[in-house]
Amino acid sequence: MKITQEKLNQVITSHGKWLRREDGGERANLRKANLQGVDLHEADLRDADLRGANLRRANLQEANLNEADLRDTDLRDTDLRGANLQDANLRRANLQEANLNEADLRDTDLRDTDLRGANLQDANLRRANLQDTDLRGADLQDTYLQGAYLQGADLDQTYYQITRIGSRNATTTYCIEKNNVVCGCWNHYRGGTLADFKERVKNIYDNYGEMPNKRYYRQYMAAIEFFEKMAELGKE
């Protein structure tokens, strides 16, 4: 049975009281609720329980879902533009054709998630766990992927990652088709071409003769050489 907008607004109001630790407040329990097509624009659902809920074609634009439990939810065709999903659990969620433009997905659990055809333009996926996620047909233009875990992910494009490199033991990601390297906050987390990255490494580390800068320089140059070889193989 579908929850009415009026009932949903009551749940959100009570949840707001719970978040503020006011009397009469109760954590939103929308587990397995039918919320198809509802309007949750700018709703504050931090830490809400939405496991298994049907949110297909719902309006969650700029909603706050920080640390929300969204495991196994149906989010197909859902509007999540600008939504805050930081630290949320979206494991096994269905996000086919969802609009996640400029969404905040930092540190989000997206393991085994279906993101086929999703719009992830300008989305922030820093340190997100995308293990075994299906990203075929997803739009990853200008997506922030610094530190994202992509092992086993199904992608239309080819990504290589080298972990625990440099002074911060960070992750460096290279996309062959885009010729784009993402490493830390370089270029406002958007990265740049492999040639630009190589020049940056030389400017930062090659000017110092002492350790540990020389060690970091060798690490990055070895990574760059690997990326260059993979790019050449990709042309064959």
Per-residue tens of pLDDT for the chain, all 236 residues: 688 889 999 999 999 999 999 999 999 999 999 999 999 999 999 999 999 999 999 999 999 999 999 999 999 999 999 999 999 999 999 999 999 999 999 999 999 999 999 999 989 999 999 999 999 999 887 788 888 998 899 988 888 888 888 877 778 888 888 898 888 767 666 778 999 999 988 888 766 555 557 888 889 999 999 999 988 887 76
Residue 55 to residues 70, 78, 131, 184, Cα–Cα distance (Å): 10, 7, 23, 34
Could you tell me the pTM of the whole model?
0.76
Residue 56 to residues 48, 50, 99, 132, Cα–Cα distance (Å): 17, 13, 12, 22
User: Does an H or E element contain 224, and which?
Assistant: helix 213-235
**How high is the pLDDT of residue 135?**
93
Strands in 170-175's sheet, in edge-to-edge order, are: 159-165, 170-175, 180-183
Terminal alpha carbon distance of the chain? 56
**How high is the pLDDT of residue 191?**
78
Question: Which letter does DSSP use for residue 156 in this model?
Answer: S
The identity of residue 140, as a single letter, is L
Which residues in the chain are classed under CATH 2.160.20.80? 29-155
**How high is the pLDDT of residue 163?**
80
**How high is the pLDDT of residue 160?**
86
Q: Rounded to 10 degrees, what is the CA torsion of 160, 157, 65, 169? A: 10
**How high is the pLDDT of residue 84?**
98
Place of tokens 């064959």: 236
**How high is the pLDDT of residue 13?**
96
Spatial separation of the C-alpha atoms in residues 181 and 175, rounded to whole Å: 7
Considering the four listed CATH numbers 1.10.3720.10, 3.40.50.2020, 3.30.465.10, 2.160.20.80, the one that applies to the domain covering 29-155 is 2.160.20.80
**How high is the pLDDT of residue 46?**
98
Contacts of 46 (CB under 8 A, 6+ apart): 19, 64, 65, 66, 67, 68
